Structure 1
């Protein structure tokens, strides 16, 4: 086995997407890649994008390999976000029908290569945390999807991303259903994220839902450190007004005084 093909085998996994730009950086030219394609070491997906076939005969990569190629070969910081992160952490029981919609966190959709945006007809949802003043490596975790390691938002950041998407990418009711199950969030991590958030409506909604479901971690949050702005916010049309957080929410989420969740 030649040194170049040996390098390819040692530095990629069966089933991986392999990009020509990365191969060129490591001394493997396009002409050599063409030889690898003709000999079956690589399958061509489109110009500059290849797939290392698996022994099982699998001929097409999944979105997991696409995400890993972005991070490991192009060194673009993108990650599994929002609903997808919660789902693959086992924190969502919401059944998606048809092809899974995959939430990807990125700085800009347009910064991503065309082949990823058009990947095998994948149903992507590109999410940008532009209302957080900054993110930290502590906001992310590594999880396993289809036996592959994937960078993902932590449960706390994913919850924030879901709430921040209400009315844009997700309904209030769906977000609330997901939020109901988040009983084990870290109050320290939640506090850190909300302290960095400039999204007034999102911050208010996050706190509203945390109290609505009476999550124990919510009692340890210091709301005086969280930017809640001023004035009313209409989250849903024809909703009911919540006085504490000055937001309109679906009528079914306003409790009577006897049931008041705030105590």
Structure 2
């Protein structure tokens, strides 16, 4: 019990691995030391847990790659200027094949959860530690978060929103961006990322070695009726091409 910080979820499977049998866990619940928050998950009685406390358990007790990503990760780092109305949305990413337990998705958190599983990036690359109260959780660093935003675009996230977020990440290390782009399996994401970074004219862009990045072959239409960009062989909305230009 002392191994896990207050404010975090305690998974039954993890407790069993530490020698606390299901019978002993049941006795703890009967004694009001622990209380269930769903099948396979508990918290200390009287303790308040939030989504970060649940995320801590999934990352540290069962080793899932689950993390806060895309625009939600940028917001935690103060890099998003979009104001959310009503209940906050949390975007979560995990590796393809990872399934979240029912309690995680149905517990009445303060936020609405949107979970995406994908293998377009390696599970641990580009993550950073985010401190929340008395513990830390892994979230996407700025470069990975933008790549995740572009993975969701244009269906789940507007391209213009992605571009405006890209404008705010001007202090990236070229080597970390290079590694992410070389490891990324989505041609669409890589082409959009490079197109936007060049358009913004970030200083780190000129240090990216494009010859080492597999950009695939053939044209890609991101949205129908857009303007073709020959350098990256993508068709993007006219408003994105025109954005930032003066008459």
Q: TM-score, normalised by structure 2?
A: 0.88
Give the aligned partner of residue 85 of structure 2.
Answer: 97
Distance 1:148 1:96, change over 3 A: farther
CA contact under 8 A between 1:156 and 1:186: conserved in structure 2?
no
Aligned-residue CA RMSD (Å): 2.3
What is the aligned partner in structure 1 of residue 177 from structure 2?
190
1:254 maps to which of 224, 241, 244: 241
- Change in Cα spacing, 1:220 to 1:207, as seen in structure 2 (3 Å) is same
Of 68-77 and 143-152, deviating more is 143-152
Q: Does 1:207 align with 2:199?
A: no
Note closer, same or farther for the CA distance 1:77–1:179 as it changes in structure 2 (3 Å cut): same
Q: Do residues 35 (structure 1) and 23 (structure 2) align? A: no
Match of 1:3 in 2: none
Whether 1:12 aligns to 2:4 is yes
The answer on 1:180 being equivalent to 2:167 is yes
Q: Distance in 2 between matches of 1:195 and 1:48?
A: 38
Are 1:14 and 1:53, in contact at CA under 8 Å, matched by a contact in 2?
Answer: no
1:113 aligned to which of 78, 101, 105: 101
Q: CA deviation at 1:23?
A: 1.4
| Bigger mean CA offset, 194-203 vs 208-217 | 194-203
TM-superposed CA distance for 1:138, in Å, is 5.1
Residues 34-78 of structure 1 deviation map (CA, whole Å, 9 limit, x = unaligned): 332233322221233211145xxx5x4211111111112122222
* Contact kept? 1:109, 1:126, Cα under 8 Å: no
Rounded to whole Å, the distance in 2 between the matches of 1:83 and 1:117 is: 20
Q: 1:41 to 1:184 in 2, by over 3 A?
A: same
Mapping 1:80-91, distance limit 5 Å: 80-91=68-79
Alignment pair present for 1:141 and 2:128: yes
Residue in 2 that maps onto 1:5: none
- Give the 3-state SS of the residue equivalent to 1:241 in structure 2: strand
Are the aligned partners of 2:5 and 2:134 in contact in 1 as well (CA < 8 Å)?
no
For residues 134 and 85 of structure 2, what CA distance do their matches in structure 1 show?
23
Aligned to 2:171, the other structure's residue is in SS state coil
**Cα distance change on mapping 1:191 and 1:154 into 2, 3 Å:** same
- In the alignment, structure 1 segments of 5+ residues that lack a partner are 1-7
Q: Any idea what the Cα deviations from partners look like across 1:219-253, whole Å, max 9, x if unmatched? A: 11111211122222111222222222221222122
Shift of residue 216 of structure 1? 0.9
1:102 is paired with a residue whose SS is strand
- SS state at 2:88 partner: coil
For 1:73 and 1:230, how far apart are their aligned partners in 2? 42
1:112 shift after superposition: 2.3
Count of equivalent residues: 244
Alpha-carbon contact 2:38-2:107 (below 8 Å) kept: no
